[in-house]
Structure 1
Amino acid sequence: MQTTFSKETYIERRNRLKKMIGSGVLLFLGNEESSVNFKDNWYPFRQDSTFLYFFGLDMPGLTAVIDIDQDIEILYGDNLTVEETVWQGSHPPLSDLANEVGMSYTKSKSEIGSFLTSVRNQRIHFLPPYRPENLQKLAGWLKKSHQEIHSLVSVEFIKTVVSLRSIKSEEEIRELTKAVNISVKMHQKLMSAAKPGMKEYELLGLVTGEALSLGGNVSFPPIITINGQILHNHNYSNTLVGGKMLLGDFGAESASHYAGDITRTIPVGSRFSDGQREIYQIVLNAYHTAVAALKPGVMFKEIHLLACRKLAEGLKELGIMKGNLDEAVNQGAHALFFQCGLGHMLGMDVHDMEDLGEEYVGYTDDLKKSSQFGLRSLRLGKELEKGYCVTIEPGIYFIPKLIDQWQAGNLHSNFIDYEKLAHLRDFGGIRVEDGFVITDTGSKILGEPLPIEITDVENIRAKAIQ
């Protein structure tokens, strides 16, 4: 099989990991096939991203162990039987796979339990299991209950993996760029194809087909909706109606499993209404403000709050917000309109390393997540470093039930004019998003830029509607 990177890359990653952890046994669980509705009807296989990062082998049924004290690396798995090759075709022997990524020792996966028993006097490090089958494996091998397994997860291992995977190498940025460029083509397809009268699911088919036709897949279930005020809307049954807006938040996962994630909001017709243009420009101003602030050494939480302040400024100009805006943002009044975080890490996972825990990926021992509504949904708060890849995705959302709840409780009435807000109850939502890599002095957009300014978006839509 073809690995994404060279043998030397995987060896170097594992050597850095061993040096940072220092001692003990590191246990890596690859993923298994997972059945849809009967045993042999499988979901598309997706390998664990940390397993891919250190071992590069994109196939089910593998486990790896690094015994730092004995300086031994072992790949566990089984060669296919003749009967299995009838259905799956021939695969390289396990020993050849190990050699591809710089490993010498292979064993049957039936031997993992006995090995872990033999090293019980050493610290066995493993990461949080997010697949139930891997939780069951750990419980069986270590002879612990499921509850005990969760309590035995190695925080040291998590923090070390996060520190390594967070800094993207030049070869990783090339892979991310491939994913983003496919994502751009997916969005171009939607922006040129969407017309009044179409169903959202027709566009879902177009963008998914575009990703597949370019050698990738979707990096997460696409959001394609005329109800942009629902932040993660995966219902595709609505009909596109002139005068409404269409929000598309989706991206491609490349063949190497690096992810793209782009959002655009477009008019269903050829142009935005005047009211839509006003709100779109407010969101766009927050986007540009946040992008300009991206650089090493800056706390992403501060960039988030900077974008929130910019959104509040625009809403105050429309008469929807009022009062001291610094105090309004500090108290979270703006979260009636911007309920989520400004962005997240991007890598092999669209929310990179989220399986390891947001408190480790986006925060530190000193910086904890906020409990404030809105701010508590910020996935990334810590200081940016060169090599981080992040998204910037500000938005404004008018959610009728949330407005009613806040108004009934007279919440933040010093900062929100509920009377002037009334005519926007059914407005919907607007979001824009791109991915960026942090450079020495600032940031650089990942991949080919996709039109985002109002005039450029409307020019595309005018050609599409002709």
Structure 2
Amino acid sequence: MRAVVALRSIKQPEEIAELDKAADVGYLMHTTAMRMCKPGVSEQAITGAIEGIAVGQGYMPSFPVILSQNGETLHNHDHSQILQKGRMLLVDAGAEIASHYASDFTRTFPVDWVFTQRQKDIYNIVLQANNHATSLCKPGVTYQSIHLEAAKVIAAGLKELGIMTGDVDEAVANGAHAMFFPHGLGHMLGLDVHDMEDLGENNVGYDDEISRIDQFGTAYLRLGRRLQTGFVLTSEPGIYFIPALIEKWKSEKINSSFINYDKAMEYIGFGGIRLEDDVLITEKGHRLLGSQRVPITVEEVEAIVGKG
């Protein structure tokens, strides 16, 4: 099994070309969603349109589209809502092309075209975590360490807003960030969206050197091992305000030294923000897959949302 994992983990130039092609279709899917996004439009209409982009080229979505104003619900496949002013739309989608190579992007954007200051504050923390994590991607670095560095960016940003408190390194070591970032930074990508997942996450994402950390949040990191040239993976940090999780941790006083629960409670109803890119590990570092990056800065997003 390890031999199969080793073979499929290193992508050949022909495979990378196919992954770039899948990423370009994913770009069209996400920019279409952005242009269609405005108050009064149904989530179903946008979902159907972006699925149609893949199908219309003879391809298919690489997984069931996640598209929801309730971004705090991870992997939300309910598309029953009408877009409302003041909310944000989280879209996690990609394409599987004829050769079966896949893309997987996530973007979050304001329904009424412009972020509120509160939305922008949280968004820019996630963007900083995304950019920082990607900047660290190079051969020889463990993805587990990059996940923890992204968590520190999130904890530091939330501390500036008064939502988290105390020493950032200690907060992350104690898993306090995971109330807001309760999943892993990313996973391998290839012929499967979660590449080779059927071979077992621990066989694919970990090895004899790097073991899974048994702590809420970080325990769900699918890829922790040392990166190699030719790996393709996702980088997808997020911040979510999950009412049930906040209330549970508050009632049990979990990590109360690092979380200002009164402040966190003010964000119930905010939703969630995730930003995900597809990353190729190169000999000297990394590059993003696709001809161009899906719009991601506040300025880029506000320039396209609702312009359909």
TM-score by length of 1: 0.65
Q: Is 1:213 equivalent to 2:56 in the alignment? A: yes
Aligned match of 2:203? 360
Q: What secondary structure, in the 3-state scheme, does the structure 2 residue paired with 1:263 have?
A: strand
Check the 8 A contact 1:180/1:251 in 2, yes or no: yes
Instruction: Return the offset for 1:421.
Output: 1.3
Aligned match of 1:453? 297
Q: Which amino acid aligns with 1:458?
A: E
Aligned match of 2:255? 412
Q: Which amino acid aligns with 1:197?
A: G
RMSD value, Cα: 0.8
Cα displacement string for residues 95-142 of structure 1 (whole angstroms, at most 9, x for unaligned residues): xxxxxxxxxxxxxxxxxxxxxxxxxxxxxxxxxxxxxxxxxxxxxxxx
Q: Which amino acid aligns with 1:301?
A: Q
TM-score by length of 2: 0.98
- Distance across 1 between alignment mates of 2:58 and 2:32: 16
Q: What secondary structure, in the 3-state scheme, does the structure 2 residue paired with 1:463 have?
A: coil
Instruction: Return the offset for 1:278.
Output: 0.3
State which structure, 1 or 2, has the greater radius of gyration over its C-alpha atoms: 1
Q: Residue 370 of structure 1: which of 213, 225, 239 is its match?
A: 213
* Alignment size in residue pairs: 307
- Distance across 2 between alignment mates of 1:317 and 1:194: 31
Q: Residue 442 of structure 1: which of 282, 285, 301 is its match?
A: 285
Q: Which amino acid aligns with 1:343?
A: G
Aligned match of 2:69? 226
Q: Is 1:170 equivalent to 2:13 in the alignment? A: yes
Check the 8 A contact 1:296/1:439 in 2, yes or no: yes
Aligned match of 1:328? 171
- Distance across 2 between alignment mates of 1:235 and 1:420: 29
Cα displacement string for residues 407-452 of structure 1 (whole angstroms, at most 9, x for unaligned residues): 0001101000011112101110000101010001110000021110
- Distance across 1 between alignment mates of 2:306 and 2:27: 19
Aligned match of 2:130? 287
Structure 1 runs, 4 residues or longer, greater than 6 Å off:
none
Q: Residue 2 of structure 2: which of 129, 148, 159 is its match?
A: 159
1:76-155 matches, within 5 Å, as none
Percent sequence identity is: 51
Cα displacement string for residues 196-253 of structure 1 (whole angstroms, at most 9, x for unaligned residues): 1121111110001011112210000010000000111011101110110000000000
- Distance across 2 between alignment mates of 1:222 and 1:270: 22
- Distance across 2 between alignment mates of 1:317 and 1:403: 19
- Distance across 2 between alignment mates of 1:411 and 1:215: 49
- Distance across 1 between alignment mates of 2:296 and 2:16: 22
- Distance across 2 between alignment mates of 1:160 and 1:191: 41
- Distance across 1 between alignment mates of 2:71 and 2:143: 25
Q: Is 1:390 equivalent to 2:233 in the alignment? A: yes
Aligned match of 2:104? 261
Q: What secondary structure, in the 3-state scheme, does the structure 2 residue paired with 1:249 have?
A: strand
Q: Which amino acid aligns with 2:295?
A: P
Cα displacement string for residues 128-163 of structure 1 (whole angstroms, at most 9, x for unaligned residues): xxxxxxxxxxxxxxxxxxxxxxxxxxxxxx100000
Which one has more relative contact order, counting CA pairs under 8 Å at least 6 apart? Answer: 2
- Distance across 1 between alignment mates of 2:223 and 2:70: 26
Check the 8 A contact 1:271/1:462 in 2, yes or no: no
Instruction: Return the offset for 1:462.
Output: 5.5
Q: What secondary structure, in the 3-state scheme, does the structure 2 residue paired with 1:189 have?
A: helix
